[in-house]
Structure 1
Amino acid sequence: MNRDSLLYPLRNPSDTTADPALWNWAQNTVVGQRQQLHQPQSEAALQQLLRTTQGKVRVVGSRLSPGRMLCVQPDDVLVDLSALRGVLAQDEESVTFAAGTPMQQIYDTLTEMDRMLASSPGVIAVQTLAGAMASGTHGQGLNQSSLADEALRIRMVLADGSVREWVRGEADFPAAQTSLGALGIVTAVTLRTQPSRLFTCHKFAVSADTLEQDLPAWNTQFEMSKAWWFVDDNLMHVWNAAEASHDDAQAWYANQREVIEHGDDTDSSLNETIDQTLAQMHRDTQIHGKGGKQFRTVTRFRDFTDVSGDIYQLFCRGIAVPQINVEIGVPLAQTPQIISKIKAWYAESKPHMHYPIILRCTGASEAWLSPAYQHPTCFFGFVVYYADDGSLSQEGLHFLSEVEKLLAAEGGRPHWGKYYDPQRYQWRDIYPQWDAFRAVRDRLDPTHRFSNDYVTALFD
């Protein structure tokens, strides 16, 4: 197997429902066998499972991440926490959820309570709470950071079956916030909440000529900002969100709490670019006609307009489609010069663009292994969708590889739950608390039961 196929595995397009092998969600890696999968119905049952089994242990979650994060040996144990979901406790300032609760259920529950998290949501919401925290899921906005930064308490079953409750303020709490599943199995998380607020998202298209200055300005001036960079056409599509006006909020309530679209006149200035992007995606994926969900991620930019709604309605708008997704976080202070370097590289090499570059910025994170640890961060996201036959555009993958090389050289940190080339990173150099995390891991799991080839390569 060549190196590219390890980094960016081809997808099995067949129905695997009856397959004795257990695949990850994208069906590009077998993570184990179904007979290895255990579904404890309670925390006590999970404790008993750990006490009475041998071998390594991994939690499967929603299986959204690259398969290498889960893959186990035949004698190892896979754990499904889907029975551990829902609200366990609440007070005026926080809600405790079972760790297997899907993020969409959390958002729906908080909305019913007229509450929200301070952290902006990730693009999709099919992840479990524990999985989203462990891999560093984040949204956008400099006044907040990752989902893990909203945790007040983290309850975890350790390798010997005992329970540890981590409390914000404890010296090693930042190790548990984004743990890659290497410390123990999270069973419950207490998240701090705040009263729900409404936002108006202002959408526009603009030249990328001054992106180096514009991106920091958008993120400073607006509570949340997200942008798509269509490099081929030197255009930006930008969403800047601020708290909704009284009139916009009243219109939202009058509309049965559904998203409000503003104005009868829509902006069609991106339509030609959208058509060109869609044509390129059709060629890359060998899908003809209107195609599948991956094309809807681009067609939504056609004839756009401003909208008002709650934070989840506006920003949790992703469409889950099997893909190779690379996302690298770089210090916000270095972002202008990095954008200039990407422009220069593009002008020189004219790489194949499969999909626009996605730009999201967050504030600094407290989690030791967060890509945004210690400093405001800009995340550069890149996507290549699978073709119907499970193949990938080689030109698209070349672009991913080259741009990751550029960002890694600038001290970039990869999103743990997405794809990256581990040979490009010196972990101790880019994570100041790397050895501190390893020390916590060695103390809590001295036999490294929550390890596998992926975790071992990182820490051992």
Structure 2
Amino acid sequence: MSNDVRVNWAGNLTYSAGAVARPSTPQELSELVAGADRVKALGSRHSFCDVADTTGTHVLLDAYDDGRPAVAVDPGSGVASLRAGLLYGQAGAALLDQGRALRTMASLPHISLAGAVATATHGSGDTNGCLARDVVGVEIVTADGGTRTFRRGDADFPGAVVALGALGVVTRVEMATDPAFEVSQDVVVDLPWEALLGDLDAVTGAAYSVSAFTLWGEDTVSQVWLKSRAGDAAHSYGADAAGVSRWSAREVLLDLGARDAPGPMHPLAGEDPAASTVQGGVAGPAHERLPHFRAEHKPSTGAELQSEYLVPRERAADAIEAMRGLGAAVRPLLFASEIRTVAGDDLWLSPFDGDTLALHFTWKPHADAVRAVLHDLEDALLPLGARPHWGKIFVASPRDVAAMFPRFADFAALADRLDPHGKFRGGYVTEILSA
């Protein structure tokens, strides 16, 4: 995991930027953006492709202070105004101090709010949308150095949230939150494939957030992580007519043929489970359980590549069977693969316009071999309606990807209107807006 801001988090991509700036005040940021020919915000550098690249100046907001609290909650609505450069783990801890919690989180808390929102990054759960779905307002410094805020209800709001950094530098996000809640996490192993495919709803609906891990060549699903929200019977499979849970999430999976994990687990074989969030059914604050990894530890393995494809939920069984058929090709290149579910939203560039099955791949750092196998993988998944994650590695052409989003032309028009000279373009954003 690299700390060099000239390269991305995994070290597989060197950025094209000629300079890096860390404005500390709104005036500094405004003057920088207005005076630049090419400029783009850079978050926690967790994208594995060049979606955040620029040939001009990269702007980091880790020292930015607009004079407002970094985290402020409206007591009436529960909406939190958050500095965009905060990491999700930082935001979760600060919200807990105010009695609130993020509704969902990604698998690692080390990613920035703005970057995760801009790329439709997500966690898991049948009723949990991507992180951007909970955004109700976004503040952006636009090409002329001015500030514009889009809020839910505005005509262009659905295009301004998952925006790939193409509209400007996001300085704050406003997010819906819940009263603080606790989550307990259990891990089971060796769930039979027949159980997963025979009743996918039972597995993914067993807990508030469910993640299954596989290498696609095993006789069983190697691990299933179950994150149960305290007191939330609505996400307990086997509830009675009054909504009272008869079984715990762990019991549901054991009944389907899984076994209890022998001890704390890491999603990647051979990695230290001390980096994983607390397991064994011990309840704790949501921001310390919903991710897979602890904020104070290195997430995943570091030197890796990642891909992800988002498949309409109604084609889930077809997608899983297709991947099992590709097991021999993908398994030698994998550290791990994760199966998750995500609820739909109305954002123009979100790949979740309906309930979705997410197939995530953490690859060994063999770029040429991974890209070669991605052609076979996309040949199998794209005809099922799969879309790639904006921040991961994929091989579909920009023209083909643009065609996957019914509102892409509207987004391109919005980008042209707010940034007529392409100041915020670069890397993949240039490619897809030119497709």
TM-score range normalised by the length of the shorter chain: 0.7 to 0.9
Name which of 231, 234, 244 aligns with 2:219. Answer: 234
Alignment correspondent of 2:87: 102
Name which of 381, 390, 393 aligns with 2:360. Answer: 381
CA distance in 2, matches of 1:380, 1:402: 15
CA distance in 1, matches of 2:330, 2:39: 45
Alignment correspondent of 1:407: 381
- What do residues 313-357 of structure 1 show as CA deviations (whole Å, max 9, x unaligned)? 22212314131010110111110122122233447x685362332
User: Following superposition, which runs of at least 4 residues in structure 1 exceed 4 angstroms of deviation?
Assistant: 267-271, 297-301, 393-401
CA distance in 2, matches of 1:317, 1:355: 15
SS in 2 for 1:375: coil
Q: Runs of 5+ in structure 1 lacking a partner?
A: 1-12, 247-261, 279-289, 387-391
Whether 1:42 aligns to 2:17 is no
Alignment correspondent of 1:137: 121
CA distance in 2, matches of 1:27, 1:105: 24
Alignment correspondent of 1:184: 168
One-letter amino acid of the counterpart of residue 354, structure 1: L
In the TM superposition, residue 212 of structure 1 has moved relative to its aligned partner by 2.0
Whether 1:68 aligns to 2:50 is yes
Alignment correspondent of 1:335: 316
One-letter amino acid of the counterpart of residue 183, structure 2: F
- What do residues 174-198 of structure 1 show as CA deviations (whole Å, max 9, x unaligned)? 1111000001111111111111112
Whether 1:458 aligns to 2:432 is yes
In the TM superposition, residue 420 of structure 1 has moved relative to its aligned partner by 1.2
CA distance in 2, matches of 1:90, 1:346: 47
One-letter amino acid of the counterpart of residue 212, structure 1: L
Confirm or deny: 8 A CA contact 1:408 1:424 kept in the other structure. Answer: no
Matches within 5 A, 1:318-329: 318=293, 319-320=299-300, 321-329=302-310
Confirm or deny: 8 A CA contact 1:23 1:32 kept in the other structure. Answer: no
CA distance in 1, matches of 2:338, 2:398: 21
TM-score, reference length from structure 1:
0.77
Whether 1:121 aligns to 2:95 is no
In the TM superposition, residue 88 of structure 1 has moved relative to its aligned partner by 5.3
CA distance in 1, matches of 2:143, 2:367: 42
In the TM superposition, residue 71 of structure 1 has moved relative to its aligned partner by 3.2
- What do residues 2-48 of structure 1 show as CA deviations (whole Å, max 9, x unaligned)? xxxxxxxxxxx9x986xxx9222222222145x61111112222111
One-letter amino acid of the counterpart of residue 198, structure 2: Q
Judged with a 3 Å threshold, the aligned counterparts in structure 2 of structure 1 residues 407 and 110 are, in CA distance, closer, same or farther, namely: same
In the TM superposition, residue 397 of structure 1 has moved relative to its aligned partner by 5.8
In the TM superposition, residue 298 of structure 1 has moved relative to its aligned partner by 11
Alignment correspondent of 1:3: none
SS in 1 for 2:199: helix
SS in 2 for 1:131: helix
* RMSD, matched Cα: 3.2
Whether 1:313 aligns to 2:293 is no
CA distance in 1, matches of 2:231, 2:127: 20
Judged with a 3 Å threshold, the aligned counterparts in structure 2 of structure 1 residues 221 and 23 are, in CA distance, closer, same or farther, namely: closer
Q: Runs of 5+ in structure 2 lacking a partner?
A: 233-249, 251-257, 294-298
Alignment correspondent of 2:351: 371
CA distance in 2, matches of 1:350, 1:447: 42
SS in 2 for 1:69: coil
CA distance in 1, matches of 2:13, 2:230: 44
One-letter amino acid of the counterpart of residue 385, structure 1: K
Alignment correspondent of 2:422: 448
One-letter amino acid of the counterpart of residue 43, structure 1: P
Confirm or deny: 8 A CA contact 1:232 1:353 kept in the other structure. Answer: no
Which deviates more from structure 2 when the two are superposed, residues 186-195 or residues 401-410?
401-410
One-letter amino acid of the counterpart of residue 62, structure 1: S
SS in 2 for 1:23: coil
Judged with a 3 Å threshold, the aligned counterparts in structure 2 of structure 1 residues 209 and 297 are, in CA distance, closer, same or farther, namely: farther
Alignment correspondent of 2:244: none
Judged with a 3 Å threshold, the aligned counterparts in structure 2 of structure 1 residues 344 and 154 are, in CA distance, closer, same or farther, namely: same
User: Quick check: which one's helix share is greater?
Assistant: 1
In the TM superposition, residue 220 of structure 1 has moved relative to its aligned partner by 3.2
SS in 2 for 1:381: strand
Name which of 59, 70, 77 aligns with 1:87. Answer: 70
Aligned residues: 396
Whether 1:296 aligns to 2:272 is yes
CA distance in 2, matches of 1:212, 1:424: 33
CA distance in 1, matches of 2:354, 2:214: 23
Confirm or deny: 8 A CA contact 2:215 2:334 kept in the other structure. Answer: no
